[in-house]
A and B are shown apart, each in its own frame.
Chain A
Amino acid sequence: MSYVPGQPVTAVVQRIEIHKLRQGDNLILGFSIGGGIDQDPTQNPFSEDKTDKGIYVTRVTEGGPAEVAGLQIGDKIMQVNGWDMTMVTHDQARKRLTKRNEEVVRLLVTRQSLQKAVQQSLMA
């Protein structure tokens, strides 16, 4: 997941489909995000590379739609409904996730264990 400027970012990703839950007037997904290109990347406890300014999942509420869909804490969100999330500000990321007219969001997330699993299966 290290980022070399000018080169395309490659990662092993998992597709996660979250159906939003209606709570009163809001549609909630059940997790919290941190990170963004306007934030301080060194404070991120989940990233492997401390200069990574991507969007990370910092909390997942129990029993919420995100947990049901398989999202885990520490995941890095690469795409939301086709929109890129690796080079966005924090606010832009929030907006892309909380669009009022979307009931389902399809995320591409990556985590370190995915990469290791792929490597192990290749070697086996």
Chain B
Amino acid sequence: MDNESQYSGYSYKSGHSRSSRKHRDRRDRHRSKSRDGSRGDKSVTIQAPGEPLLDNESTRGDERDDNWGETTTVVTGTSEHSISHDDITRITKDMEDSAHLDCSRHLGVSLAGALALLAFLTPLAFMLLPQLLWREELEPCGTPCEGLFISVAFKLLILLLGSWALFFRRPKAFFPRVFVFRALLMVLVFLLVVSYWLFYGVRILDSRDRNYQGVVQFAVSLVDALLFVHYLAVVLLELRQLQPQFTLKAVRSADGASRFYNVGHLSIQRAAVWILENYYHDFPVYNPALLNLPKSVLSKKMSGFKVYSLGEENSTNNSTGQSRAVIAAAARRRDNSHNEYYYEEAEHERRVRKRRARLVVAVEEAFTHIKRLQEEDQKNPREIMDPREAAQAIFASMARAMQKYLRTTKQQPYHTMESILQHLEFCITHDMTPKAFLERYLTAGPTIQYHKDRWLAKQWTLVSEEPVTNGLKDGVVFVLKRQDFSLVVSTKKIPFFKLSEEFVDPKSHKFVMRLQSETSV
């Protein structure tokens, strides 16, 4: 998965981030313990630094430029979020925490880098130190040593390339807890290097071993061990999660859009990041305007049923009796709101289809006005346009139809006039048909299609009842929260398949006619 990091603002080598998890984990544990006292289940934040106060994915009514195409209608935005004082304090606290996290991340990164460098230079040191310290006493070592030098050189080169391929990548996300496998590998490398240095110090430096070939072979064995640790890293970090073992179902809480994904053995936090990566290109964009039923449908509330209790005063079950009576009475009454909903829906469908037809016709017609300049045509230089001008030329004829359509489908916050013009220019440049131009507007696309800065948010909160470094198991449920909606993810194990074999002889396919004859006697 080679993804551009949307989550990190830093461009440091990810190889150094190996131990950042370990160090951040210590700090996180202290901090989250104090935070968890107030909340029921563990909740940790996947976060990017420098969050703006109002999150990007909430609708804002004041930023849209709605004056193109039509000048008389005014649409007020539906901003459903008001930032209260608690939210402000919470957000500023999160910003402070992120500042702490960055410091520890830098520290962790530099420590990891130092360890890697140490591991890399150790074999060279092993081979150089006897030459420097007691050169005169060393036995001469001809061809076998040179062969070993060459092999050490190439193995170190391979190790370098392999580490670059595996570890030097931009991080995709900031994980809340330490990445267990990476921490494990760090510890392993550290122990390996330390034990080798111990042996070297005691057996070779102290006793001033004369057998140089033995020293070089010792260094070669360290390089081999490092290569095997690298192999272990490849298997643990990359290969183990590839074979699908679980099916994750992700459901968006706001409107019920759901998808299924197959993943391998992952920890909960890594599975969360995987889900988020797929969320941005699979789920249709969250449109809060489409959520509520039209007001006319919901206007009939349970209008006043007054309940009078005749007879004795039974104070204990009076209220429950009352509410139950009200509910029962309301249920028995003929509720026609579903009728209104049905007709409202049908009317809306019709309206959308009418506007869509008008839009398609307008766009088709607009596209017939321009064509690509062929080399043979002799044209006046004043008449030749670049794509931007061509787009502007034909935009006017379709602007009104486009705006009406977007209003009806409540998509107008997502497309500004500038974005439509840019898309039109893009389509003209690549010789796309009107239908290809329209595919972006006729269906609500995934979130990543829309302009990056407005609709892509970076901060998600992972809420889980189990520690997030636990592996996925059957039945694990975790929630990825944002301010307006959340993604509820549940896990199911892929069943164990018993495949049996049945051999079919190609010559065994034979058929007969079905007989129904009737004979007269």
Q: How far is the CB of B316 from chain A (nearest CB, A)?
A: 62
Q: Is the interface of A mostly helix, strand, loop or mixed?
A: mixed
Q: Do A90 and B521 touch across chains, with their CB atoms under 8 A apart?
A: no
Q: A59 — which chain B residues lie within 8 A by C-beta?
A: 518, 520
A38–B516 CA distance with the chains assembled, in angstroms: 9
Which one, B514, B515, B516, B521, contacts A94 given CB within 8 A? B521
Q: B82 — which chain A residues lie within 8 A by C-beta?
A: none
A29–B520 CA distance with the chains assembled, in angstroms: 8
B314 at the interface (CB under 8 A from A): no
B519 at the interface (CB under 8 A from A): yes
Q: Do B517 and A34 touch across chains, with their CB atoms under 8 A apart?
A: yes
Most chain A CB atoms below 10 A, which of B514, B518, B520: B520
A28–B519 CA distance with the chains assembled, in angstroms: 12
Q: Do B514 and A33 touch across chains, with their CB atoms under 8 A apart?
A: no
A97–B517 CA distance with the chains assembled, in angstroms: 16
- The size bracket of the interface on B is under 10
Q: B516 — which chain A residues lie within 8 A by C-beta?
A: 34, 39-40, 43-44
Q: Is the interface of B mostly helix, strand, loop or mixed?
A: loop
A44–B517 CA distance with the chains assembled, in angstroms: 10
- The size bracket of the interface on A is 10 to 19
Q: A28 — which chain B residues lie within 8 A by C-beta?
A: 520-521
Which one, B514, B519, B521, contacts A40 given CB within 8 A? B514
Q: Do B517 and A90 touch across chains, with their CB atoms under 8 A apart?
A: yes
Q: Nearest CB to that of A44 among chain B residues?
A: B516
Q: A14 — which chain B residues lie within 8 A by C-beta?
A: none
- The 7 closest A-B CB pairs, nearest first, are A32-B520, A43-B516, A40-B514, A34-B518, A97-B521, A29-B521, A39-B515
Extra contacts, 17 of them, besides A32-B521, A43-B514 (Cβ < 8 A), are: A28-B520, A29-B521, A31-B520, A31-B521, A33-B518, A34-B516, A34-B518, A38-B515, A39-B516, A40-B514, A43-B516, A59-B520, A61-B520, A90-B515, A90-B519, A94-B519, A98-B521
Contact surface of A with B, Cβ cutoff 8 Å: 28-29, 31-34, 38-40, 43-44, 58-59, 61, 90, 94, 97-98
